[in-house]
Amino acid sequence: MKLIRRLLLVSIFTLGLTCANGQLYEKLATYAISGTPTHGVKIKTNIPFVSAADMSTIFIRGFSYGGSNTINLQLVFYIYSNASGPYFYIPVLSSSGSYTPRILLANENGKVVVFIDDRVYFQRFWVDAFSVHSSTYYQGWSAVDEALTGANVVEVPYKNAFKGTVAVNGNIRAKEIKVETANWPDYVFKDGYELKSLAETERYIKNHGHLPGVPTAEEVESDGQSLGEINKILLKKIEEMTLYMIEQEKRIKALEADKGNR
């Protein structure tokens, strides 16, 4: 009897540790199509659409042959509730692969579904999840080609951040790049700014082979160049050139007025 009690206590203690530390559930669903999906890919989970039911992390990994992209998506969300009922609270998605499809969350028949709103030829992936909640939520998942028909639909935004040095040996494609930098060169237009004469600039170019304040080709080839810094330098040169043009126009008008008075 004592032995049974001890075994029971050990089992309860072990279960408590598992719940506290969380559990990784592997290959909850797999998707492999030798064609092109009609609707997209719906990942059907058994996570109930109930406030505070779960705070899971879902991993989608594989390869998109049709798009020649690696798939490595990480999705997190929490189900919260207000006066209107449960809703998806601050869902976030990141990708460390080259595949970034539009992804939606929805409530279908009281269960959470993840919908990949993309139709790609010959795609392969599997789904893992990490959670500290009930293991019954992580059974019976599937990934199918079905239209999204649920309620409480939200599109999940992508959010990636990198700290430190990021090296890219290849091309970068983006819809928008935002560079944050200080000391923007509006000071060129302020009183007291010492603008070199064109003669001084000409002498500098002859002696050094580049504009003053602009890095040399050798420096850029050796050390690279900050995108924010080179934008500042180029803007400064454009502003200086604008001042030269304004001054030149004043001189032309003065000469024309002098000529007209003769």
Domain segments of the chain: what residues? 23-155, 185-261
CA distance 23 to 20: 9
pLDDT at position 260: 78
Beta strands in the chain (DSSP E): 23-32, 41-48, 57-64, 69-82, 85-95, 103-108, 111-116, 123-131, 142-144, 151-155
CA distance 131 to 220: 48
pLDDT at 5 over 60: no
More confident residue, 158 or 258: 158
15 band by pLDDT with thresholds 50, 70 and 90? very low
Q: What pLDDT digit, counting tens, does each position of 43-55 carry? A: 999 999 999 888 8
CA distance 155 to 79: 14
Residue in 211, 215, 216, 214 with CA at minimum distance from that of residue 244: 211
CATH class as words, domain 23-155? mainly beta
CA distance 240 to 130: 57
CA terminus-to-terminus distance, the chain:
124
∠ CA 58-71-129, nearest 5°, is: 15
pLDDT at position 1: 52
**Longest Cα pair distance anywhere in the chain, in angstroms?**
124
pLDDT at position 6: 52
CA distances 175 to 45, 93, 172, 178, 258, Å, are 33, 18, 10, 10, 52
pLDDT at position 26: 95
pLDDT at 259 over 50: yes
Please state whether the predicted TM-score (pTM) of the whole model is above 0.85.
no
256, 202 contact by CB (below 8 A): no
pLDDT at position 42: 97
Residue identified by tokens 């001084």 is 200
pLDDT at position 182: 83
Lowest mean pLDDT across 127-136, 164-173, 195-204: 164-173
Q: What pLDDT digit, counting tens, does each position of 77-118 carry? A: 999 999 989 999 999 999 999 999 999 999 999 999 999 999
62 strand-pairing partners: 71, 125
Q: DSSP character for 132?
A: S
∠ CA 156-57-72, nearest 5°, is: 70
pLDDT at position 8: 43
pLDDT at position 163: 86
Q: What pLDDT digit, counting tens, does each position of 142-194 carry? A: 999 999 999 999 999 999 988 888 888 888 888 888 877 788 999 999 998 99
Q: In what order do the strands lie in the sheet with 41-48?
A: 142-144, 41-48, 111-116, 103-108, 151-155
Mean pLDDT to the nearest integer, 48-68? 92
pLDDT at position 21: 67
Report the percentage of the chain scoring pLDDT > 70: 92
pLDDT at position 12: 41
- In single-letter form, the type of residue at position 129 comes to A
